[in-house]
Amino acid sequence: MSDHQPTPSVCPLCAVGCRLVPGENQRARGSAGPANPNGRLCRKGVGAYRVGDGDADRLTEPLVRQDDTLQAVSWDGAYERIVDGVEGIKTTHGPNALAFLGAPHCTNEENYLLQKLARSLGTNNVDNRARLCHVSSARALSDQVGWPATTTSLADLEASDIILVAGANPAERQPIAFNSFVRPAVLNGARLVHVDPVGNRTTRLADYHVAPRPGTDALVFDLLSAAVVERGDGVDRAFITDRTRGYDSFAASIAGLDRERTVARAGVDATTIGEVVDRIAEADRVAALVGTGIEGDGDEPNAAAALLNLLLLTGNLGRRGTGLYVLRGLVNEQGATDAGCVPDRLPGHQSVTDPKARESIAAAWGVEPPSEPGQTASELLAAFGDDIRGAVIVGENPAVSKREPEWIRRRLDSLDLLVVCDIVPNETTRYADIVLPVAAGVEKTGTFTNLDRRIQRSRPTRAPPGTARSDFDVLRELGSRLVAGRELFDYTCVGDVFDELARVAPTHTGLSYDEIGPEGCQWPADTDGVLYSESFETPDGLASFVTAQHAVEPTATTVDSNNVGRLQLVAGGRASEFEIDRAHSGRQLRMYPVDAHDRGIEPADDIVVSNGQVSVETSVEITDRLREGTVYLPATVADPLLRSGGSTVTVRPASESTDDI
Ligand code: SF4
């Protein structure tokens, strides 16, 4: 097994998967790869080697809590304490009193080992936050076509006639993918449609900007489908007949959609919608790229499902230049779930309730995984100190989230055992009983799977400091010490684990660590990057339409008096914790000119944003890059407002004394 090939690292800072090598002065240099064919890096990627390098805070030795303080111990001492704690909890409370949280920063092999450790101990309580990032898109893809993953390749966008970007800003968030694949396609004649309440850098390249009211994305996609059906010539009858089911129910569910009222409800421009419908109906190949902006709050209709309906209706799946792309954010969001680091899915997205899948895993492991789905990360967190007595957290910092900080602190503090693996102390390590120092992204050997299912090998370009070691080494050792039958975790190298993943995960069948070359490889092995060209990954091989889920509410006639003067708050993306250039991450509220004028707000004014319970102070940018009636805040600024449950807000100049308008 060769872990020492001179392959570049994979940029650990986002899911595009650019390749890089060390340059001068701690800067990274791009190395041409499948995700960055021009060998370019974005500004963030150039700083990839600075993460954790020479950081005075860097953890260098294991720490164990003694007399209420964390004190340095040997690795053996730390492992022994963990083994005692885990075994004690398992004996007293059972395996389901344990929780394991993996991370989209960790490699495929590390996430695989974590879920194997949890399941070998007898619990499916294993999760990672990647599962939460695109939950409705993943659900729609799983339910309607098969796998929760991008259906074709970034490079295939060159064949697209229409690229529809919804709820995302790839020009800023996935810049190298945008500039390497979307921009060239558009310059070559593809039309770009941007569906987002807020105009941003992606909008600048767009031919059409559709700005729906927040929460009405699904309605807009249903409206597009209804108009395509009404127009007739864009409907792919042969595709619908041969490759789908449920069309009649879907068609009936959108047949009554009143176009005028729907346009008013969504607040979109009817002329723009008409032109987008014409372009989609005329196009041979339509691809859709979705971000977290269409995720909704859980109660809203699933916008990704409505978008998939539109793609199925027009025969836009299973060919180059078509399909649905999930614009994932963190480096291994896709791989962490592929590896089975989720409570209801085994490696390769097999259900834990499927006896055949469990049998096949048992044949490889010698231990059968439990059949009851485990709890999700947010359920586990809520049960900390009650049903959950011990947690192993790898590369995550749950003390910082949208939840109320004091509530989280109480939960973390009430565990009998909290083990945290990280590169630096953080808000969660404050509550840990054992803290293990681990390697940063560019210090690891292993594979990462990017946003178009491409698996790339990454090599370490420096050693971790002190006695820190990779999460891979930590989990392999914990598995050997905790699970009866040490041979279950008796791996000589990362490649052994990848090859085991390829044996047990149907998605990865036929892949081999040693055969992953400089271009990486996409799963599944035999598709040339395009999923579903012959058949969908469903029991009968057909894709499913789902029925439209909503009725159009009256608009002009009904006004909620509680909402008079209030504005709809849209929260932006959450900056990565590895964000290098924190000084440039803006805090400003963006506001439409008429809304600002009505409230006597001038450009750059200090303002107060309030939902009636909580207020935040910031400054304002007045811009027409978002729709009237909507304001935009970066997630980190919006969090206190969102936590307290208010997504409509008032905005006033800070100089005014009134608390609410
Ligand atoms: Fe790294 Fe993403 Fe930038 Fe590429 S686009 S250099 S993967 S942060």
Which amino acid belongs to residue 478?
L
Using CA positions, which residue lies closest to atom 1 of ligand 1? 45
φ, ψ of residue 167 in degrees (nearest 5): 60, 35
Q: Which of 104, 11, 133 is nearest to 471 (CA)?
A: 104
How many other β-carbons are positioned within 10 Å of the β-carbon of residue 132? 16
**What's the mean per-residue pLDDT of the chain?**
89
- For residue 16, the CA-to-ligand 1 centroid distance in Å is 6
DSSP string over 583-625: GGS--PEEE-HHHHHHTT--TT-EEEEE-SS-EEEEEEEE-SS
Q: Ligand 1, residue 10: give the atom nearest the CA.
A: 7
The confidence score (pLDDT) of residue 645 equals: 59
Q: Ligand 1, residue 174: give the atom nearest the CA.
A: 5
> What tokens appear for 117 in the block?
């450790």
Place of tokens 């602190």: 409
- For residue 177, the CA-to-ligand 1 centroid distance in Å is 8
> What tokens appear for 404 in the block?
């109320």
- For residue 51, the CA-to-ligand 1 centroid distance in Å is 14
> What tokens appear for 255 in the block?
């047949």
- In this structure, are strands 521-522 and 126-128 parallel, antiparallel, or unpaired? unpaired
The structure's pTM equals 0.86
For helices 247-255 and 303-313, what crossing angle results, to 10°? 110
- For residue 389, the CA-to-ligand 1 centroid distance in Å is 38
Calculate Rg over the CA atoms of the chain: 25
Pocket of ligand 1, candidates 16, 105, 581: which has the most ligand atoms within 8 Å of its Cβ, to mutate?
16
For helices 355-365 and 108-120, what crossing angle results, to 10°? 100
- For residue 179, the CA-to-ligand 1 centroid distance in Å is 11
Using CA positions, which residue lies closest to atom 5 of ligand 1? 176
- For residue 425, the CA-to-ligand 1 centroid distance in Å is 25
- For residue 20, the CA-to-ligand 1 centroid distance in Å is 9
10 Å CB burial of residue 365 (0-12, 13-18, 19+) is middle
Mean pLDDT by 10 residues, the chain (661 residues): 60 95 90 95 92 85 94 97 97 98 93 97 93 86 97 97 97 96 98 94 97 92 96 96 97 92 94 98 98 80 95 98 96 96 96 97 95 94 96 89 80 96 93 96 94 95 94 96 84 96 97 94 92 96 92 47 66 48 58 79 83 80 74 75 69 68 32
Q: Taking CB atoms and a 6 Å cutoff, what residues make up the pocket around ligand 1?
A: 11, 13-14, 16-18, 36, 41-42, 44-45, 174-176
10 Å CB burial of residue 43 (0-12, 13-18, 19+) is exposed
10 Å CB burial of residue 510 (0-12, 13-18, 19+) is exposed
Q: What is the pLDDT of residues 99-157, one digit of tens each?
A: 999 989 999 999 999 999 999 999 999 999 877 778 899 999 999 999 999 999 999 99
Distances in Å between the Cα of 412 and the Cα atoms of 112, 131, 241, 393 are 25, 21, 53, 11
Pocket of ligand 1, candidates 40, 42, 334: which has the most ligand atoms within 8 Å of its Cβ, to mutate?
42
What dihedral angle (degrees, nearest 10) is formed by the CA atoms of 191, 196, 202, 207?
Answer: 30
